[in-house]
Amino acid sequence: MNRRDFLKRCAAVGLGGFVLSNRALEVHIGRQPNIIFISCDDMGYADLGCYGCTDIPTPNIDSIAAKGIRFTNGYVSCPVCSPTRAGWVTGRYQQRFGYESNFGSKRFEEYVGLPLTEITIGDVMKSAGYVTGVVGKWHLGLHAQFHPFERGFDEFFGFLHGNHSYIDPGVGTWNPILRGTKEVDEQEYLTDAFTREALGFVERHCNRPFFLYLAYNAVHSPMQAPERYQDSFPHIEDPTRRTYAGMLAAMDEGVGKLLDKLRELDLEEDTLLFFINDNGGASGNGSNDYPLRGKKGSMWEGGIRVAFMVQWPGRLRRGVTYDYPVIALDILPTAAAVAGAEPPRDRVIDGVNLLPYLTGRNKGAPHETVFWRMKADYAMRKGNWKLTHEDGASGLFDLALDIREEHNLATERPEVLEELEGLYTEWNSQMIDPLW
């Protein structure tokens, strides 16, 4: 079934075309809860207070962990931006549909983007009766056929490509700020503008279930902090990290305003909220991934293990850490379960509904294995064992003892290496070649 047929079926049978049941909901409540999905961009693993940062205060993002659950082994499905987003909006390994790397310049815009056969989290939530909106960075295709309006979203404010100036609106360029499909001469610092738009979305739709995808481009380059934070971090000697700190502080401030708005409208306890970073910190932007090895673009932990947390006050535990591996692909099936809907059944959904695990009903691990592939590099994890194939060489690491992936155990444990290589080969046989 393609996306068009899926939407026709949903319209024909009513509320989402999904099977609604108490089994799908871990906690059944009278009204469908709101769902907010916040992502940031190129942030280091160790750049939030709740993950050990000491030089940049992030009290608002940290409060999500304090009121909810912080994942210590949270992953994305790719170490770069666009494929990660293709994965988390579909709940599927993006290699299943050939979306393996970022796309380049405007000349590819008619051909490159999230395949139209894919069903998105916007489709799922909209078909379940939600009003849906995207604020921020899209990066899933520039052409009109890939626009959020064509992928299950009712509202859009942001830009379509991979990065954008925080202070230049880009009017008249091939990647302007858009409201819907119309160019906007945005004069506010871009992170602040995205916060403003997110607050407006929540206020407009506070009387019905809503799904908001707030995709900050902070702290992605260009390195441009707002003026109000220019002199706020004199203790940071590195000028790049000082700028980075101002950009991160502006995003943290925005997250705080959104959390305040939920409390003001008495929506906090009726809102499931995710926060995640899209890949490891980028080289040269001042980010800190310690103690992980590698950065953005790498199959080492520093490229794929990210800050990831969730809160749902009154329904999920507060202030706890969750140590089993989870992956961004889990967001779609978890959101579907909370909405009382099931993801489409005509395709493999690689993510899992995390609710039984987060509430403690299921004591096991959500995933026995997780996988990564980008061009010639690949990796997989089973339990604490990690296979990392980077730059033509494979290594075997015990992450419980060696989070920095410094001690290659391939020679000492050849049977484990063989098992993991076999599991990767089996998974890889189910994927297709990159479309570009």
Return d(Cα 358, Cα 253) in angstroms, integer: 27
Residues serving a catalytic function are 81, 139
| C-alpha dist (Å) from residue 155 to 152, 176, 246, 311, 344 | 9, 16, 29, 24, 23
Three-point CA angle 125, 206, 317, nearest 5°? 70
Do the beta carbons of residue 137 and residue 41 sit within 8 Å?
Answer: yes
How is 39-58 classified by DSSP, letter by letter?
EESS--TT-SGGGT--SS--
Tokens of 31: 């009204």
Three-point CA angle 305, 38, 250, nearest 5°? 95
Return d(Cα 166, Cα 152) in angstroms, integer: 27
Q: Residues with Cβ < 8 Å from 100, sequence gap 6 or more?
A: 78, 83, 94, 373, 374, 375, 434, 435
Do the beta carbons of residue 176 and residue 142 sit within 8 Å?
Answer: no
- Residue of 80, 183, 91 whose CA lies nearest to 139: 80
How many CB atoms sit inside 10 A of residue 167's CB?
15
Tokens 């871990």 map to which residue?
26
